[in-house]
Chains A and B, each alone.
Chain A
Amino acid sequence: AQKVTQAQTEISVVEKEDVTLDCVYETRDTTYYLFWYKQPPSGELVFLIRRNSFDEQNEISGRYSWNFQKSTSSFNFTITASQVVDSAVYFCALIENTGNQFYFGTGTSLTVIP
């Protein structure tokens, strides 16, 4: 079973629009960590944020914000006032406290149209 689901395969928005990327996860562990990575066209994955299962506070970093809700097993990512440089594939990932493997979602390809 897929542990991390990113249902949105592709999203296109016009520059300056807000966009939310969805991530739903599945785990039986009580301790786990969630991540978001950005993969621009150059191909390298860039770490954006990490969240542990005991910290449900939402986080904001500039135009980026993350909404972690254990009740719905979701860890959604919102970009406010999107820019062309935000165009990339975004991956959500999970690692359980009992393991060493990362479980990645299938990614959401975001295109910001100027």
Chain B
Amino acid sequence: EADIYQTPRYLVIGTGKKITLECSQTMGHDKMYWYQQDPGMELHLIHYSYGVNSTEKGDLSSESTVSRIRTEHFPLTLESARPSHTSQYLCASRPGTGYGETQYFGPGTRLLVL
């Protein structure tokens, strides 16, 4: 059973606001990921991290930033929210050892930008 948490679960916010989506895992996994997904649609990789102080951009990263100061914590920040950011954001983690380990997903944050 994976222990990965995301807060908030739901967020409604106005355009231009700065927001941070939290993701924490208690499994000691080195690798963590952020995906953006419209309901039932494909997943788009935003950012990923191999470990502390290591972050990489995915396909959809230009409007957000991440940090990885602690192994268990991988927050995603939108500096200025826009209606186009309305979506579900999924955080995932996986062990650093081995290449074929699965990702474990959090419950997601559903964001609505007005």
Contact = CB atoms under 8 A, between A and B. Distances in A.
Chain B binds chain A:
yes
Interface of A: 31, 33, 35, 37, 39, 42-47, 50, 52, 89, 91, 95, 97, 100-102, 104-107, 109
A44 B43 contact: no
16 contacts: A43-B108, A43-B110, A44-B107, A45-B92, A45-B105, A46-B105, A47-B102, A47-B104, A50-B102, A97-B99, A100-B48, A101-B48, A102-B33, A102-B45, A104-B42, A109-B40
Nearest to A91: B43
A74 B48 CA distance: 27
A107 B108 contact: no
Interface in B57-114: 58, 88, 90, 92, 99-100, 102-108, 110
A43 B48 contact: no
B100 A95 contact: yes
B107 A43 contact: yes
A101 B45 contact: yes
Contacts of A97: 99-100
B22 to A, nearest CB: 16
The number of chain B residues touching the other chain, given as a range, is 20 to 34
Interface of B: 31, 33, 39-43, 45, 48, 50, 58, 88, 90, 92, 99-100, 102-108, 110
B88 A43 contact: yes
Contacts of B90: 43, 45
A24 B110 CA distance: 30
Contacts of A109: 40
A44 B102 contact: no
A109 B104 CA distance: 21
Contacts of A47: 102-104
B43 A104 contact: yes
Contacts of B50: 100
Contacts of A104: 42-43
Nearest to A97: B99
Q: Which one of B103, B106, B107 has the greatest number of beta carbons of chain A within 10 Å?
A: B103
